[in-house]
């Protein structure tokens, strides 16, 4: 286990740049950017990104606990993050997520929106590079971890891209989609590789798969029982077409949606943890009890599947009710 180290910041520009870049590979980014694309850009783009993100992150997390490559030694490295220090290093899931999200967004939008491909390519490259470099700066990964993560993500993107349309069609139309979307991730979470000591990788993986499962069920329900709330035909977000009205509506959708998502997360955390505490006879503040398999998996999965479902079903309904379509 690592411990906090004292350090002196000599370049505040790099310090804040890479601390911010590191946050682009964490939950705060996922829970804002991915729903934003669903509410304001295009349903099909968001669906593809969430599916790719879920698959890539699951493979990355499991790979860490199978390979069991250690993180950089500290000292000499100064680690600016402590939460993930208990995890193994190879591959960097920050690098995997950044590569997958940025380039899947580019691929999914380049033929639907009017913007220069070169501009999108540079933006995707800069985004993923900043996140990768942040893992080196914060002392959490080696160069090999980061390169390995980016390459694995790139290979997975190439393998999954030819099946994008087929996967998307099945997610929207198959009558088995809701059942499989819940059962398959739960089986994967309950059969996550066992470690000799506790690591947050299983909890993080369950969070990701839970959010993806809830969102997928929401996609299916929307396609079966409701017309899409908004598609790429609503807003063509090219620079010449951005007006003050569009900006206001986009921001309103975002803040209303984020409020509902965060409220859902907090409410479900309290309810599910309370029920599990009652079922397994432990106080809510007992951290060790919350790390047990029979508690951690349902706690994380139910909470974040509710978040995914809320973002794709409840929030669009609220947007429609408030006249934000």
Q: Does 43 participate in catalysis according to the annotation?
A: no
- Residue 203 structure tokens: 């909890």
In a domain, 279, yes or no: yes
- Measure the CA–CA gap between 167 and 131, rounded to whole angstroms: 28
Average pLDDT over residues 301-307: 94
Which residues, 6 or more positions from 245, have their beta carbon under 8 angstroms from its beta carbon?
Answer: none
What pLDDT band is residue 137 in, cutting at 50, 70 and 90? confident
Residue pointed to by tokens 């390995």? 148
Residue pointed to by tokens 């079922």? 279
- Measure the CA–CA gap between 88 and 70, rounded to whole angstroms: 5
In a domain, 297, yes or no: yes
User: Reduced to 3 states, what is the DSSP secondary structure of residue 173?
Assistant: helix
Average pLDDT over residues 16-25: 83
In a domain, 2, yes or no: no
Instruction: Give the percent of the chain with pLDDT over 70.
Output: 91
Give the distance from CA 225 to its chain's centroid. Answer: 26
- Measure the CA–CA gap between 308 and 318, rounded to whole angstroms: 15
What pLDDT band is residue 187 in, cutting at 50, 70 and 90? very high
In a domain, 99, yes or no: yes
* Buried residues in 202-230 as b, exposed as e (16+ CB within 10 A): bbbbbbbbbbbbbbbbbbbebbeeeeebb
- Measure the CA–CA gap between 283 and 278, rounded to whole angstroms: 8
Give the distance from CA 176 to its chain's centroid. Answer: 24
Total domains in the chain come to 1
Average pLDDT over residues 274-295: 86
Q: Does 94 participate in catalysis according to the annotation?
A: yes
Average pLDDT, the chain: 84
HSE (side-chain half, CA atoms, 13 Å) at 152? 25
Q: Which is catalytic among the residues 43, 94, 169, 319?
A: 94
- Measure the CA–CA gap between 255 and 288, rounded to whole angstroms: 35
In a domain, 310, yes or no: yes
In a domain, 6, yes or no: no
Sign of the torsion formed by the C-alpha atoms of 33, 249, 308 and 83: positive
Domain residues for 95?
12-322
User: Model confidence over 196-220: pLDDT tens digits?
Assistant: 777 888 888 999 999 999 999 999 9
Q: Mean pLDDT check: name the lowest of 74-83, 93-102, 108-117, 138-147.
A: 74-83
Residue pointed to by tokens 């906090």? 4
User: Model confidence over 234-267: pLDDT tens digits?
Assistant: 444 444 445 677 788 888 889 999 999 999 999 9
> Which of the two residues, 2 and 304, has the higher pLDDT score?
304
The pair phi, psi for residue 194, each rounded to 5°, is -85, 140
- State the DSSP code for 78: P
In a domain, 37, yes or no: yes
Q: What is the pTM of this model?
A: 0.84
Helix axes 293-309, 244-280, angle to 10 degrees: 150
Q: Which is catalytic among the residues 43, 141, 169, 319?
A: 141
pLDDT > 90? residue 185: yes
Average pLDDT over residues 95-107: 90
Which residues, 6 or more positions from 57, have their beta carbon under 8 angstroms from its beta carbon?
Answer: 93, 96, 97, 100, 205, 208
In a domain, 5, yes or no: no
- Measure the CA–CA gap between 61 and 43, rounded to whole angstroms: 27
């Amino acid at each position: 286990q690592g411990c906090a180290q004292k350090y002196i910041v000599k370049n505040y520009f790099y310090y804040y740049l890479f601390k911010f870049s590191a946050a682009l590979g964490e939950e705060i980014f996922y829970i804002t950017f991915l729903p934003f694309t669903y509410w304001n850009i295009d349903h099909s783009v968001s669906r593809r990104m969430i599916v790719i993100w879920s698959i890539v992150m699951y493979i990355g997390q499991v790979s860490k606990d199978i390979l069991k490559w250690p993180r950089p030694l500290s000292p000499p490295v100064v680690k600016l993050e402590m939460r993930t220090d208990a995890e193994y290093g190879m591959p960097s899931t920050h690098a995997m997520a950044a590569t997958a999200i940025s380039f899947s967004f580019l691929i999914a939008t380049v033929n639907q929106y009017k913007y220069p491909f070169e501009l999108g390519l540079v933006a995707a490259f800069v985004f993923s590079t900043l996140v990768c470099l942040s893992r080196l700066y914060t002392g959490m990964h080696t160069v090999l971890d980061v390169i390995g993560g980016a390459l694995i993500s790139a290979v997975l993107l190439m393998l999954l891209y030819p099946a994008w349309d087929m996967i998307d069609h099945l997610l929207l139309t198959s009558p088995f989609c809701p059942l499989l979307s819940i059962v398959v991730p739960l089986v994967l979470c309950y059969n996550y590789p066992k470690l000799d000591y506790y690591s947050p990788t299983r909890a993080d993986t369950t969070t990701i798969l839970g959010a993806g499962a809830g969102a997928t069920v929401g996609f299916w329900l929307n396609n079966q029982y409701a017309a899409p709330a908004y598609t790429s035909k609503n807003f063509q977000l090219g620079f010449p077409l951005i007006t003050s009205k569009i900006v206001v509506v986009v921001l309103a959708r975002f803040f209303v949606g984020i409020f509902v998502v965060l409220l859902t997360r907090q409410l479900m955390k309290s309810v599910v943890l309370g029920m599990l505490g009652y079922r397994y006879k432990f106080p809510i503040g007992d951290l060790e009890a919350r790390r047990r398999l029979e508690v951690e998996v349902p706690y994380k999965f139910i909470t974040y599947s509710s978040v995914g479902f809320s973002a794709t079903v409840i929030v669009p309904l609220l947007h429609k009710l408030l006249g934000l379509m």
